[in-house]
Amino acid sequence: MNLLNGACWLPCLMRDGTVEYRPPADMANPDVINLACPRADFQAGAYQFLLGLLQTALPLADHGEWLDYLIEPPSPDALQEAFAPLESAFELDGDGPRFMQDKDPLEDGNATTVSALLIDAPGKNTLKNNKDFFVKRGRVDVMCEACAALALFTMQASAPAGGRCHRVGLRGGGPLTTLVMPESADASLWKRLWLNVVPSKKLIQQGQNWTTPHPEDPDLFFWIADTRISDKKGTEVLPEQVHPLHAYWSVPRRFRLLFEQDECRCDLCGREVDQIVRQVRSINQGANYDGPWQHPLTPYRRDPKKPAKPPWSKKAQRDGLGYRHWSSFVLSDYDGSGALPAAVVTDYISHKQKLVDESYRWGDDVPGLLKQMRIWASGYDMENMKPRGWYSVEMPLINLPPSSQDILRAWVQQLTGLSQQVASDTRKQIKAAWFKRPADADADADAKAKAKAKAKAKAKAKAKAKAKAKGDMRQVDKQFFSVTHDAFFHTVSRLATILQEEAETTAIPADIAQSWYLSLRRQAFAIFDDQALSGAQENMNWQRATGARRQLQGFLSGRSKGSKTVKDFISQHGFEPTAKADKTSLTQGGAA
């Protein structure tokens, strides 16, 4: 199968709600409103594939050309014509170069089940030691060509650490991808993708030279030439050694798909097909990416204290993604926190937003979708080779002139700094309500103490009395940030409006600051009451719970030790914390 010659292999969501398999060129069909891939990581990977394809087949000279394509998208036929010159580099099977696969047949490599292409599949050692407790083996034994292509690209684009000399991806293991998305649910797929296409000059890193993309360029598509084997020092792949577009087509892993003719049902998409993949061959020592790589779709962070050190890609976190990460995804802070948003996000905020606003004033027929925008962040949370979870969130993208971004960034840091402190103390006081010694307890220490004390009843009782409570309570933080999500973006939207109207404003207005503070306070009490005061009454230590709630009240009022952040926020913005919440009766179970 050739991925570009018109084969219908991409699952597309149509405007009428049905799912149809279409060729990539049909991304320009106005009736196609989204992709409908069988897995969340495939959905993100397919977006990246199509964006790389657009950047390669339709290199843009400037933003004016970008706007022309936005106002008048190409037809699917015109797009197919643009893809045609690249077809030879996108053969998935055959005797010649294969898309994102090793040129060598890898006959000496290990043949493994096709599930090896899935980032969340249990690894070799996990299977050997029978440790696949939660993610079981044997879930995926057969893939159709389409799913195999998506799995292959997704693995190459985000390859985690994979054992001895199985190279990690160009962006490091578990990179985040951030894309600009329209608010409208029925926006066409073309508009969703085109928002994240940038002029070619924006993709050029230091030391790189731009040349017209060509399917036989080994610096662009590594798989059309002999493998760049990383078996010794000095074989690292640096940005200045390759084409600027190679970041979209990186191949850190060496794979060879083994195709079979057999009528079978795909374990992922469920379709009955006659061309399948059951096994892949793999070998180590693929391309070893090193140096200051910055993928256009990924946010990075640099260390301002070590300017010579390359930036590192931002990763998904174990406690999830949310508004506390929003600033680093959207607002550049080169000399402060070192936040470097993805190039596609920066390009939209710095250029496209203004360009579209001007086009509205000129009367151009610009699609009415760029007024309300969102940012889509997705990626695996990895612990070396082990995925701990997949995260995919959408957050509003606030329209703001670049000249006001420094002020908004400072304000957002105040808002998120306060929320993080409130979340932390809420968790702390829930622990205090649950456990006798919350500062140094561990839920498993009772069993450990029993093992050490062996048969001595007195030692057991003593260990139980000193039981520790250092269990994982990140769910409290997740819940807190979830319930304050809407309030945060409502607050930021109000601040953005003020900055657009009053350019000289330097402080958060008192009424907005108070509204944010009260939102955090209200949710902190609600979560505490729900977590600390729920459960069987006979097991409740009311004295401990009441004391913990008083401590939380003191913290939220800025009166207790350790509440300097709260006290400074209240003082700096000149408002009085309400006392009404403190009077809520504990016996009524009310949230302040």
What pLDDT is attached to residue 502?
Answer: 74
Q: Which two tokens stand for residue 11?
A: 């699952």
Whole-angstrom CA distances from 399 to 6, 402, 553 are 38, 9, 36
- 298 contacts 314 by C-beta, under 8 angstroms: yes
Cβ neighbours for 326, distance < 8 A, ≥ 6 positions apart:
375, 395, 412, 488, 492
pLDDT at 360: 57
Nearest to 280 by CA among 126, 132, 102: 102
Question: Do the beta carbons of residue 167 and residue 230 sit within 8 Å?
Answer: yes
Kindly calculate the radius of gyration of the chain based on its CA atoms and give it in whole angstroms. 27
- Residue 280 in any domain: the answer is yes
**Are residues 166 and 291 both part of a single domain?**
yes
Q: What is the DSSP string of 326-354?
A: HHHHHS-BTTTT-EE--HHHHHIIIIIHH
User: According to the 3-state scheme, what is the secondary structure of 526-581?
Assistant: HHHHHHHCCCCHHHCCHHHHHHHHHHHHHHHCCCCCCCHHHHHHHHHHCCCCCCCH
pLDDT value of position 402: 77
Residues 241 and 365 in one domain: yes
The boundaries of the domain holding residue 143 are 10-392
- Is the domain of 240 the same as that of 189? yes
| DSSP H or E stretch at residue 390 | strand 386-397
Contact yes or no for 193/247 (Cβ under 8 A): no
- Shared domain check, 292 and 178: yes
Does 457 map to a domain?
A: no
* 373 in any annotated domain: yes
Whole-number pLDDT of residue 132: 43
- Domain edge (last residue) among 392, 414, 434: 392
Statement to judge: residues 213 and 350 lie in one domain: yes
Between CA 79 and CA 73 the distance in angstroms is 9
Confidence (pLDDT) at 480: 95
pLDDT 10s digits, 396-451 = 998 777 788 889 999 999 999 999 999 999 999 998 888 876 654 444 444 444 55
- Look at residues 356, 371, 392 and tell me which one is the last residue of a structural domain: 392
Looking at the structure of the chain, the number of domains it has is: 2
Q: Which pTM was predicted?
A: 0.88
Helix (H, G, I), strand (E, B), or coil: what is residue 149?
A: helix
Domain identity same for 105 and 199: yes
For 175, which DSSP code? B
Is there a domain that residue 584 lies in?
A: yes
Q: What is the pLDDT of residue 355?
A: 83
Q: How far from chain centre, in Å, is Cα 350? A: 22
Residue 49 lies in a domain: yes
Q: Let me know whether 314 and 434 are in one domain.
A: no
256 Cβ partners below 8 Å, 6+ apart? Answer: 98, 101, 102, 104, 105, 106, 109, 280, 281, 282
By the 10 Å C-beta count (0-12 exposed, 13-18 middle, 19+ buried), 88 is classed as middle
- Residues of the chain short of pLDDT 70, as ranges, are 122-138, 359-371, 437-472, 503, 535-539, 579-592
Q: What are phi and psi of 333, to 5 degrees?
A: -140, 70
Residues 142, 58, single domain; the answer is: yes
161 touches 384 (CB < 8 A): yes
Residues 45 and 122 in one domain: yes
Write the pLDDT tens digit of every residue in 29-85. 999 999 999 999 999 999 999 999 999 999 999 999 999 999 899 999 999 999 999
Same domain, 411 and 306: no
Residue 85 and residue 164 in one domain: yes
Q: Does 39 fall in a domain?
A: yes
Same domain, 211 and 103: yes
Residue located via tokens 């990383």: 230
**Kind and range of the H or E element at 19?**
strand 19-22
Is 356 domain-assigned? yes
* Contact (CB, 8 A) for 42 and 150: yes
Residue 123 domain-assigned (yes or no):
yes
